[in-house]
Amino acid sequence: MDTLHLLGFDFGASSGRAMLGTYDGETLKLEELHRFSNDPVMLNGRFVWDVQRLFFEMKAALLKAVKAGIKLDGIGIDTWGVDYGLLDKNGQLLGIPVNYRDARTDGMMEEAFKTVPKEDIFEATGLAFMQFNTLYQLLAMKKQNDPTLDLADTMLFMPDLLAYFLTGEKATEYTIASTSQLIDPHTRDWAWGLIEKFGLPTKMLTKIQPAGTVRGLLLKEIADEVGMAQVPVIAVGSHDTASAVAAVPAREGSSFAYISSGTWSLLGAEIMEPLSSVEVMKANYTNEGGINGTTRLLKNIMGLWMIQECKREWDRRADAVDFAGLVELAEKAPAFKAVIDVDDTRFLAPGDMPARIQQYCRETNQPVPEGRGEISRVIYESLALKYRWAIERLEQDLLHRKIDVLHIVGGGSKNLMLNRMTACAINRPVVAGPSEGTVIGNLLVQAVALGRIGSIAEMRQVVAASFENVEYLPEGDAAAWDAAYERLLALINK
């Protein structure tokens, strides 16, 4: 059996990379070909993505593959969710894609509820309410009379837009579309009735394709420019979390939850049919598309964004300390000095995160953490406690079954202290790894599309055979974790 050479582009909110996957029919090996920063910029009052530069970096990665003598069999792209670009009738990009953290959507959910009640939106889409969802971005454009919305002939989410730049083919992959609050999770098509109620243009919406669809071939002009063949470009699980969940090395039939851990912590369970009950809406859980017809019932939790923003502020003020150094400082700090709800909206935007955490503690009449170690420990402990809250909602309110084990994949799975804290907080085993879950899922879906793997169960067998993971068991003072959890519940229920 011939070996497959697959290239996975994995774009995060702060960096991107091109990873080579070599699949021999039994195991997958990874090699990083190219890594680059992804730096959104404030431009004329808008927080935007430098998409032209990202495409330049994609071509740089293709050139590196050629120089290394690698003949690619497939290319796949995954990115963060919700954001999009608009094309005119000639296929040219209109404006610059706006970052989901831009302030244009402030107050737009409340405006939307005046037109369609919140309960009706959830019934139609099954998606949790986040002010940056694509629905509210489009409504903000409409309210602000943005002329590009009227000129738009095609809307493409970020991975579909980048695939269009590579192939010239316009289409929408399901898992990325499912983050938008514009999709009916039962029909797996656009929520046409809801979109029309809001008066949004429908002509710009393209056909929905499932993950594992060959989107097209690399354009001849690009293939000639870099010196390679016209390689198939495959619509993988284009939402990075969909790819990460596909790479969870869970045993078939096991009752597991997962966290795709990075800037965001996406915690949930894999189910076969979406759940759009009132209980799901009240818990602010979301139904997003998964691989092979599955649904990802999950909760968006703020994740490592807070520690990233703290580090950015501390580096600006004083000598830089890397993330491993912050963990060492946190290990030495006192336990449970304060507890924060990491999903408080004040923590969403960029800015002086240490000051916001301290102000939160003052407002909630808690001791105020001081210095890098204490603040870092408060973040890590509070994340672990919020994971417990989310798992209990799954068990008690939504799935009505026990979760036996939590799998953590993605870059955050390398944080040993957070893994230990999580096992203690949730009082059950935590399995960490693989840390490259997102790009692994991307690459293995390409193998599925090319006929070399038959199912998600087979994908997970390849992951288990190819990559190590580490199990963490609860240890330490369970009573102290229980007491801290009661403090978090009091904050959430205020």
Per the annotation, the verdict on 240 as an active-site residue is yes
* Separation of alpha carbons 449 and 123, rounded Å: 32
Instruction: Select from 242, 303, 255 the least CA-distant residue to 456.
Output: 242
Distance from the Cα of residue 171 to its chain's centroid: 20
Under DSSP, the state recorded for 79 is B
Q: What is the secondary structure of 200-230 as a DSSP string?
A: --STT---EE-TTEEEEEPPHHHHHHHT---
Tell me whether strands 430-432 and 172-173 are parallel, antiparallel or unpaired. Answer: unpaired
* Separation of alpha carbons 296 and 117, rounded Å: 24
Under DSSP, the state recorded for 101 is T
Phi-psi region of 233 (alpha: psi -120 to 50; beta: other; left: phi over 0): beta
Residue 381 and residue 483 in contact, taking contact as beta carbons nearer than 8 Å: no
Instruction: Select from 224, 230, 124 the least CA-distant residue to 169.
Output: 230
Buried b (16+ CB within 10 A) or exposed e, 170-180: bbbbbbbbbbb
What are the φ and ψ backbone dihedral angles of 399, each rounded to 5 degrees?
-90, -25
Say which of 240, 341, 344, 397 is annotated catalytic. 240
β-partners of residue 173 are 209
Instruction: Select from 333, 263, 344 the least CA-distant residue to 304.
Output: 263
In Å, the largest CA–CA distance within the chain is 65
The residue type at 70: I
Task: Answer positive or negative: Cα dihedral of 66, 68, 71, 77.
Answer: negative
Segments in 213-294 forming alpha helices (H): 220-226, 240-246, 278-282
Residues with a known catalytic role: 240
